[in-house]
Structure 1
């Protein structure tokens, strides 16, 4: 096992019969940060910094004129406080955390069940997801995706 550790560090190992095993070239890894339900991810800031991808829930959003479930008494602050009280985040909160940790890409997930997510079938769902993505993007400033079931995302190696 100590030989394996040496090889994993990219170093060469010479076996007792003279065979030289060359450790693989070292290459940079990729950093993915995946958060579950959270209204305050600050405790993991230091280990999340410079993530290639941040996956962050965005359960509720203030979407007047887009989300028919928006109450007439709702304002952004009320929706955000209600969301936090239930242990969740808004798209803006996800965007701000992504910016704070200097993530390269933000993927939003865990949307409220009242947001129909199948935008291939339902045009209204596409409008809702576009609005949610826009809210996060304003705060994040980088690429934001709204996750879908069975979605795949390539994470390129650094050159």
Structure 2
């Protein structure tokens, strides 16, 4: 598996019968990361066959309910399903107290440890997480309360050994990892095979930026420049531009303008107001500015094959 983004919910504050509030699952080479956890996220995971126990890290952008009200339910379900692995949650200050209070009044204890990592909110970009798959950075957003976006940057991959040469050259299994990392192959008869002879270039690494919630502010452009995939909220169409400004949200045209300025590969728009029955106007207005725009729809998956 390469890079994959699954939309679990793409509505704004109010869910509808067919659209849930914000949550996304990123899968990169079998590592799974959850961004936001609106009410009902665990139901969406069941619906779209997401294996929630594989989630290793959760990132919460801000403390408006449509971005975290589903968290306590998800944590409790993980507990009931027997989770024991530690779970890291990167979040605004205050979420730890909320979760602990919910557990306390319910006289509940989880079988697994939660490691809360409280985030800073400033005008810059902070490196907050790293594993052997990806690095994660915050993106400063412009919302009514402190809010961070997240930038995922997949780490460079190893080179790929030409499979037909493993048997032909009798390459020992224990040497394969070093060769993938760039080492030459020294055979017992003294012959040396240069790494470039026996390997293929590494596959492309991808980057993804998540920007929700925010009103238009092009100060984020340097932080997301040239990303392969950008999700930017587009709560309203141009007919409600004044409403967007008042509520610290963006229009579809705003999102597309940011994508065009940042020279991203593909734009996904979402976080729709419940007032809309369909998003044809959102898509039309965005594509007038940035042609390679798609809609975030519940259950839809974007993968490296689309980029």
1:108 shift after superposition: 0.7
Across the aligned residues of Structure 1 and Structure 2, the Cα RMSD in angstroms comes to: 2.5
Question: Number of residue pairs matched?
Answer: 118
1:60 shift after superposition: 1.0
In the alignment, is residue 61 of structure 1 matched against residue 237 of structure 2? yes
4+ long deviations beyond 4 Å: 8-11
Q: Say which of 272, 275, 292 aligns to 1:143.
A: 292
- Cα distance in 1 for partners of 2:231, 2:216 equals 14
- Cα distance in 2 for partners of 1:81, 1:157 equals 34
- Specify the alignment match of 1:96 in structure 2: 257
1:9 shift after superposition: 7.7
- Cα distance in 2 for partners of 1:91, 1:29 equals 28
The CA deviation string for residues 81-137 of structure 1, in whole angstroms up to 9 with x for no partner, is: 220221100011011111001112111110001112xxxxxxxx3xxx122100000
Contact map agreement 2:206 2:228 (CA 8 A) in 1: yes
1:157 shift after superposition: 8.9
Contact map agreement 2:286 2:293 (CA 8 A) in 1: yes
- Cα distance in 2 for partners of 1:48, 1:9 equals 21
In the alignment, is residue 33 of structure 1 matched against residue 209 of structure 2? yes
- Specify the alignment match of 1:133 in structure 2: 283
User: Where does structure 1 lack aligned partners over 5 or more consecutive residues?
Assistant: 12-18, 63-75, 117-124
Q: For residues 144 and 113 of structure 1, do their structure 2 counterparts lie closer, same or farther at Cα, with a shift above 3 Å needed?
A: same
Question: 1:19-30 maps to which residues of 2 (within 5 A)?
Answer: 20=175, 21-24=178-181, 25-30=201-206
Q: Which has the higher strand share?
A: 2
- Cα distance in 2 for partners of 1:98, 1:40 equals 11
Q: Say which of 219, 231, 241 aligns to 1:43.
A: 219
User: Where does structure 2 lack aligned partners over 5 or more consecutive residues?
Assistant: 1-131, 133-155, 160-173, 182-200
Contact map agreement 1:28 1:157 (CA 8 A) in 2: no
- Specify the alignment match of 1:121 in structure 2: none
Q: TM-score, normalised by structure 1?
A: 0.64
- Cα distance in 1 for partners of 2:285, 2:233 equals 13
Contact map agreement 1:108 1:147 (CA 8 A) in 2: yes
Q: For residues 26 and 107 of structure 1, do their structure 2 counterparts lie closer, same or farther at Cα, with a shift above 3 Å needed?
A: same
Q: Say which of 58, 79, 87 aligns to 2:248.
A: 87
Q: Secondary structure at the match of 1:80?
A: helix
- Cα distance in 2 for partners of 1:45, 1:111 equals 22
Q: For residues 53 and 9 of structure 1, do their structure 2 counterparts lie closer, same or farther at Cα, with a shift above 3 Å needed?
A: closer
